[in-house]
Each structure stands twice: as C-alpha cells, then as structure tokens.
Amino acid sequence: MKYSLGIDAGGTYTDAVLINDGDGSVVGATKARTTYPDLLVGIQNALDGVDQEILQQVKLVSVSTTLATNTILEKTGYPVGLILVGNAEIPKNSAIKYSISVDGGHSSGGNETAPLDIDSVKEFVESVKAKVSAFAVSSYFSVRNPEHELKVKEVITELTGMPVICGHELSQSLGAYDRGITAFLNAQLLPIANQFMNTVVSEIERRGIDAKLMMLKCDGSIVGITEALKHPIESIFTGPAASLLGAAYLSKEPTCVVIDVGGTSTDVSLIVDGLPQISDTGAVVGGWQTKVEAIKMETSAMGGDSHVWVRNHVISIGPRRVVPLCVAASKYPMIIKKLKHGQSVTRNQLGENLQPTKFFIRTEQKPIEITQREEELLNRIGDEPIHVADIYWESRKMPSPMLLDILIQKRLIQAIGFTPTDALHALGDYDEWNTEAAILGAEQMCIFADMEVKDLCLDIKKKVAKNMALNLLSYLMENVAPAEIEKGLDGDYRAGFKTDVPVVLLGGPVRAYTEAIKKFVDANILLPEYAEVGNAVGALAGKGVKRIEILIRVTFGESKYNLKPTSISVFSPQGKHEMVNYGEAIQFAEKLGNDLVMQYMKDAQLDDGDIKIEVSKREINPMNTGIPLETKYAFLGIAELKR
C-alpha cells in the first residue's frame, strides 16, 4: 500500500493529511499551530498528530504555504536592493527603500541601446550591501536579451556573494518595472523560503521517510522542492491554489468557487471543470503587480487572526495578524492575570499598537539593520508578553507606536491581541483554545467601544462574514466596483445577491460563519469533511505544468522585386538566437521548446511520470509574404505524478 502526505503551512496553522494512493481516500489529518520564527516545531507537531505507521509508508510528500503571501501582505519581508537597467524607473512614491536606476538596456530586437553603467552599479552595491539580504535586477527588454542582467548579477556576486534574482529568470512577459518588482519580492522571500523548505526536508529525513518531495506553485502546478527554492515568489498564493484543488477534491465539485479563511487573509478563487482560473495579468499582492503566473483570485487582509482594535468607538479589523489572546494564554497564563488587572491606556492614546488587549513578545530573529532607539525599545521586550503600560511604568515613557510597528515589520517582536477567533470563543462558537482569555479581552475592548460583550463579538463576526461575502461577489462580478457591491450588502432591500455555482468553505473555524454568510448572499454553501485541512489535501492534487513561449521575429528589407528577410531572430527564455533562414528558425524553436519543457520536468523531478506536451503556433503576416513577420510558439507540458 502506498500513501501520500500533504503539508500546508499557513500563517496560523500547519496542517498535515495522509491520502491512500489506491482509492484516493483521506486516512488521517491533523492541525497544529504554526510556530515562529522556528517553523520546525509546528511541522513536527502536525506530523506527530497522524498515524506514524502509515507515515512511514509515504512515498510522496507535497507542501503548500501562505508564508510568502503573508510576508508581503504584512510588509515583513527581508531588505533587498533593486537595480533597474535602462528606461525603467522607480516611482517616487515607491515603498522600496534601496534602489537605483542605471543606464543600459536593449531594444525589442535584443540589440543594446546603451552601454551598461557598471560603475554606478558597483557604487550602489557597496553602499547598501551591509543593509540588505539580497539583490534584484531587471533590465529593459531583458526578455529579448538578458546580457545586462547577467552582467550585473556577476558583479554583485563577485562583490558580495549575496543572492541575486534576475527578472528574466522569473518571467518572459514585457514590462521591465513589473519584472523588477517580481524579482524584488522574490529576493525578499529567499530567507523565508529557504528556512521553510529546508525545515521540511530535514524533518522528513530525520523521520526516515523515503519519499519524493514536491511543492505546490501559485498556478496550481507542482514542482520538486529543490527547483522551488530557486523561485520562492512562485509560492505566492499557493494557499489559495491548494484550497481550490483541495475544495474540488473534497467536495467532488469540479466547478465551484472557494472561500478560504486563513489566519491572515480571506481568499476567493474559482475552479471550472477541474482547472483553476488563471490571471491574465499576473499575481497582485499587497498592492504590488507582479509577473508571476497565478490563479485568478480576490484576497483581503482579514482572517481569523487579524488584529481587532478600537479607536474613537470604532472597531477596526486588520490588516496586521497577531497571536489571538485565547491562543497566547494557553502558553502564557500570565496574560489572563494582566487582562484581569487591566492595562493603563487612555482613550486619546489608543491606536493600532496601543490597545488594552495588545501585548508584545520578542522573537529569536536577529536584526540586520536597527537604530539606537529601536534597539533600546527592543531590549525592554523579553521572552514573556509585555504590555505598553509595563514599559511605561519601567521607563516613565510611553513607547512610540511607530517604533513598535518597525520592530514588528522587522520580525524582531511578535504581537498578541484580540482577534475574530477570540470573538468566536467569547460567543461560544469555537472552543479550541482559552475561552476565559477571549472573554476578558472582549470586556477590555468594550470599555472603549461602549458596547456589551455579546454585541461587540457579534459585530466582529458580522464584519468578517460581510468581508467574505464581499470578496465572493467581487470575484464573481469583476466588472462591478466593490463599493457598489458593498452598498447592496449594507442596504435593506427587497432584492439581494445569488450565486449560480456551489460555494465551498475551507479553513479552521469557518463553519461558524456558514449561516452569517447566508444573510448576505443566497448560495449553495458546502462544508466538506476535512474542510479544515483542505489546503493540505490540495497540495497533493496538483499536476506538473510548464509553459514556455518562443517568438520568431523576421526583419524585412526591400529588393528590386519583393520583400526579403534581412534577419531572423528567435527569442526564448535562453535569450536571442540569430538564424540563417526561416525553416531553420522553425526547427530550432520547436526543438528548443520541447527540450526546455523536458529539462524543466527533469529539474522539477517530474520526469518519471506520463508527460504530454501541447504545442500551439500563432502567426502574424500583415504583408501577406511567404514568411510571417512574427511566429509565436506556446508549449504546454503536463506531467501526471507517478505514485
């Protein structure tokens, strides 16, 4: 008997599921809290929760994670230096701290338009190398000729030895700035991805499990974990991709819309006839437009662990994730005593980081760049939860909310606070953790919100349910402004919203919201068995997929009698190749496309199964010549996993 293991590491929970390869049935599943900054403990706890005898028979392990998405949403990625070459410029209002634009770049024909200003590159690298963890580089039309990107990479490697991500390595789409952003985000995620994947590998090996290790990508395909380490940006939205595949698998509905409620975000996506809907423009996350091919989705930074805070009697939810009071109190009972005592915060001091229910604890993360003021505040925060009032009585000075925010962004401290999960505990809708801490937190919130505990918690639950409905409808009604949809959700009308596809809910406490969602939208809502570990199931439901595009471009010159080709160029992920004639270019492109797909399958450890390659060709021939002006090949390789 053969079994497969799916692991999903989310911002809140790490899930594990065992599937019988013979009949596809789920034979074991478990959830454990994701642990920061050391993810190993959460993974170990999840694996300890399944049948150990079956675990030893596993031959395939596939993982998915929302860690990349959450990192970008919460703006807690590692510092990166971005270098743009050519006409691409960085907007003045960009949030990128270390960047430069230098001369260089190529034309659409792959010819150099200006020499690369390598001296400016060297000067920039020397000035920021002590402040960043990696570099990203994108050059104008590098998809036609990556020469300048590769030269910059070579120089940085010689000067620093640090990781360098090139735009052409991640996308063959036009748009130097967007490719640069994609490379920038990818570089931000390298340390996080390395830690996560190496943790999974070491734990599987430690347990003596002899299995192939795979990872789900954001387009719903899978890849060998070694190959995945090269492009961690492609793990953006693997959580939603896993939820789509898992929802279809568990509900046996090949066409359905999925609402996946995690700790940090709520994600909505659609699968039709078993195929995820892919975005035409690339993944957008945290306001960044990337060139990463990903599933089409609607996402918001509101989840079960989003921070609930109050100011001027107004209840806000998110966008930051915190450890719920009910969860933290299970590990730190002192929180209950502190909540009973009450914390000294006045109404005019209230803000996101100054709340009666918010605590801070130091992580094991080592600072890369830190100011004296940040270090002084960091030294006041230890291994046990501390409130801003505690810091005040020690120093007679209220800590700066801005400094607290910076330390959170740098992952040097972790926040604990009131969340929708606490509200569900206080209402009795969920009881996995410490209910007393949740109720005490709600009581503290009510002092400043001027509400009763039940009313406060019902209001929070309603806000979360409305957000789920808004995401759902915004996805299905993409040409309607969300603000207009929200008017319909808020109004008391004799009409409402209805969906014509099943809606599958996934996530830990999501069953608590089933009836609340129905008050906003008429839908066939499904809650399949094992919905709480649907992403881990989805990690096993993907196929190996590789898409390659190759362009043949012909330049014509006039002769005495007709138009004749003066140059024939082939543009591929490998760069620019000059051909003698069109026939040679066709043969070269077709062979190269197939070779690149097969090489990818080999690198991704997918070459031991059944591989099919679909080839499509599109020609542009406006002059009605014998040879087209452009010929574009699209190669689609699909590998069925061998189990």
Q: What is the pLDDT of residues 245-286, one digit of tens each?
A: 888 889 988 899 998 887 777 888 888 887 777 776 655 555
Tell me which DSSP letter residue 367 carries: P
SS3 letters across 596-626: HHHHHHHHCCCCCCEEEEEEEEEEECCCCCC
Residue 492 clears pLDDT 60, i.e. is over it = yes
Residue 127: per-residue pLDDT: 93
Half-sphere exposure at residue 493, Cβ-oriented, CA atoms within 13 angstroms: 12
At 495-534, the pLDDT tens digits run 889 999 999 998 778 888 988 899 999 999 998 888 888 8
Q: Is the pLDDT of residue 174 over 70?
A: no
Q: Determine the pLDDT at residue 292.
A: 53
Q: What pLDDT does residue 643 have? A: 61
In angstroms, the Cα distances linking 226 to 4, 38, 230, 515, 608 are 19, 21, 7, 43, 16
Cis peptide before 319 (omega within 30 of 0): yes
Sign of the torsion formed by the C-alpha atoms of 343, 347, 353 and 357 = positive
* pLDDT at residue 549, rounded to an integer: 87
pLDDT digits (tens, 9 = 90+) for 81-97: 888 988 777 766 666 78
CA dist 163 and 399 (Å) reads: 36
> Domain coordinates of the chain in residue numbers?
83-186, 306-456, 544-640
Mean pLDDT of 419-447: 93
More confident residue, 216 or 128: 128
Residue 273: which region, alpha, beta or left (left: phi > 0; alpha: psi -120 to 50)? Answer: left
Q: Any bridge partners for residue 28, and if so which? A: 18
* pLDDT-wise least confident of 28-32, 48-52, 89-93, 309-313: 89-93
> Distance from first CA to last CA of the chain, Å, rounded?
11
Average pLDDT over residues 127-149: 86
| Residues of the chain above pLDDT 70, percent | 87
- Is residue 537 left, alpha or beta, with left meaning phi > 0 and alpha meaning psi from -120 to 50? alpha
For residue 560, pLDDT beyond 50: no
Q: What is the pLDDT of residue 281?
A: 60
pLDDT at 151: 92
Helix %, strand %, coil % for the chain, to 5? 35, 25, 35
What value does the mean pLDDT take over residues 204-213?
90
Amino acid at 382: G
Instruction: Check residue 267 and give its pLDDT.
Output: 83
